[in-house]
Amino acid sequence: MDNQPALEVYKKYLGERAEGLPATGLLLPLAIRNENDDDHDTVRTILAVDEQKQSIIFAGDIPEGSHVKLMRANFDRLVDGAAEAAEQLDMTGYENGPAICLAISCVGRRLVLGPRVEEELEAVKEVLPAGAGVIGYYSYGEISPLASGRCDLHNQTMTLTLIWEQA
């Protein structure tokens, strides 16, 4: 990263918390800029570190030469992001009736949010149609389309799918 070993860069930004790598790396996920379209950045989470090579193994590909930035985990923004995901659900054709939302959240979010993890689910429920059920699980990354419709592997995200019966 900027002609420096990736692990060195992470340790610099993590400071004292660097001793907890790779777990503390969840506090600084990596965003890859998607330059070929207007989609949002793709997020990558640290899985392991290699002290000998001063390298980091991420959960997903990072193409060589990519423009990346370190992100900082923020509790409120994680919860707000879950609500935004719910607001982006396409409910075209939905009329009042039974609905269920499948919520897949990355385990990295769970680890970062800790005891506040319920807040992200509550934020989603507030946006869903009244009475909609919610089921879900934690994953190690989600494969989901971006705004362009192109699918990609995402880390530290929440993916939502709303299902209902057409009248």
- The answer to whether 82 and 121 are in contact (CB under 8 A) is yes
Between residues 125 and 37, which one has the greater pLDDT?
125
Give dist(CA 5, CA 10) in Å, integer: 9
> What is the full DSSP assignment across 81-110?
HHHHHHHT---TT--SS-EEEEEEEEHHHH
Reported as a pLDDT band with limits 50, 70 and 90, residue 147 is low
Reported as a pLDDT band with limits 50, 70 and 90, residue 163 is very high
Q: Is the pLDDT of residue 39 over 60?
A: no
Q: What is the pLDDT of residues 63-92, one digit of tens each?
A: 888 889 888 888 898 899 899 999 999 888
Q: Is the pLDDT of residue 16 over 70?
A: yes
- The answer to whether 10 and 28 are in contact (CB under 8 A) is yes
Q: Give the global pTM.
A: 0.76
Q: What is the pLDDT of residues 89-137, one digit of tens each?
A: 988 888 888 999 999 988 888 888 888 889 999 999 999 998 899 999 9
Q: Which among 75, 140, 76, 128 is positioned nearest to 102, based on CA atoms?
A: 128
Reported as a pLDDT band with limits 50, 70 and 90, residue 24 is confident
Residue 36: per-residue pLDDT = 62
